[in-house]
Each structure stands twice: as C-alpha cells, then as structure tokens.
Amino acid sequence: MKLDANKQNIIFCDFDGTITVTDNIMDIMKHFQPSGWEDILRRIVDKEIPLQEGVGAMFALLPSSRKDEIIQFTRQSIRIREGFPELLEYVRENDFDFLVTSGGIDFFLLPTLAPFELRPEQIYCNGSDFSGEQIRITWPHPCDEQCDKGCGMCKTTIIRSYSPEKYNRILIGDSLSDFEGSKQADFVFARSHLAEECEKLGIAYRKFETFHDVINGLNALREGN
C-alpha cells in the first residue's frame, strides 16, 4: 500500500487502549465494581445491545456523588502509550491532519490530553452529566442516517465527512468502537481486538504496540513499502 501523494493525509486515532495503555472505562468499572456491570459488558460484546446503550447503562450504575473519587482514580491510573508525543510531532512536521475519535468520556479524556496542546476541534468524545443522582453519559456526536449501530460517538460518521477523493483516511485503534471505522478507513493500524477483527474480515492492517511502530508504518506507507 502507498499513500496517495495527491491527497491530504488524515488520522483518526482512538483513545482508550490506544493513546492510553488500557481501556479507561473498563478500568473504572473493574475498580468501582457497580453491581450488574459485567452482565451489561457481556451483552455489548455479544452484540445484544449497542455500544451507546451499554456504556450509558454501565455508568448509570454509579452515583454522581462519587465523581471526585472516580476522577481521582483516572488521574492516577491512566498511562499514555509510548511514542504518542513523537507521533504528534511527526504529524505536525509532515502536515497530517490528526483527530482523536474516541468512545471515551470527557471527564477523563480531556484532562489527559490537555498537555499535548490539541485544539478542541481535534477531539471527538462523549460527554458526562453529574447533576443527577446517577452519572449520565451524553452523546454530542451521534450516528448519522447511514449508521444504525448505536455507536454513541460515531467514528464512521466522522470518517465519512472526509471524502476519500480528497483524503487518505488512516485509523488507529484497538477495540469494539473501532470495528466499523476500520471498514471505512483506507489504512488501519490495529492492536488487540481490532487486529483480530481485521484478520477475521480480511481488512488490510499494520499491527502496532507503540506509536513508534505507527510512525514507522506511516513512513512505509508514504514510500509504498
């Protein structure tokens, strides 16, 4: 594969388990153990319920009164994957557009990304509302009329807004929320469950563990290797 030199390059990068080492929503659930969350997760994985419904239902098990405790936990537990600052430097030096497209939640995602000086318009994620008794997740970036998957934060809707006639569309991801996006993208960097899904569906991809692997892969794509 080779990037088309006549097109603008754009990267759609997942957050949980991609920019960060682990999935932060899962970390929150495993740490706070709200009753019933594991059954909801099973139903998401088995595709009995859409991702939006499942994530909303899991957070609704947690009382808003634990907001500060949950935020403190995420600040202590989140770790950035090796090479992320270098990737941002690479895309800036090589005129790539870069978007964070995440099914994660604003209260832990935005503080984590703040040191990296990304513009607000570069970040797509879900919102949160702690004003009621239980945590409520909000969905500012829903599916368009071409997607009926109940994504919550719909990556395919965002990818579709960038024409394949004008853009080389590159997705970096690891799990459930990236499955549909990988079918839309021109190039995929995958790890974990997304790599398994790409294998199963016959989607061409490059495997990565650090963002140094991604940088090397981008160089190879630019050179046609």
pLDDT band at residue 152 using 50, 70 and 90 as cut-offs? very high
Task: Indicate if the pLDDT at residue 176 is higher than 90.
Answer: no
Q: Roughly what angle, to the nearest 10 degrees, separates helices 106-113 and 67-77? A: 40
Phi/psi-derived region of residue 11, left when phi > 0, alpha when psi is between -120 and 50, beta in every other case? beta
pLDDT at position 1: 83
CA 87 to each of CA 90, 166, 194: distance values in angstroms, whole numbers, following the listed order: 5, 22, 20
Distance CA 171, CA 178 (A): 8
Q: Closest Cα to residue 142, out of 129, 125, 130?
A: 125
DSSP, residue by residue, 152-173: SS-HHHHHHTS-TTTEEEEEEE
* Averaged pLDDT for residues 147-171: 97
Q: Which residues, other chains included, contact 122 with Cβ-Cβ below 8 Å and sequence gap of 6+?
A: 98, 99, 100
| Residue type at position 32 | F
Sign of the CA dihedral running 178, 184, 188, 194: positive
pTM: 0.96
Structure tokens at 130: 């702690």
Is 118's pLDDT higher than 80? yes
Residue holding tokens 């990267």? Answer: 11
pLDDT value of residue 132: 98
For residue 163, report the phi and psi dihedrals to the nearest 5 degrees: -60, 135
Per residue in 79-104, pLDDT (tens digit) is 999 999 999 999 999 999 999 999 99
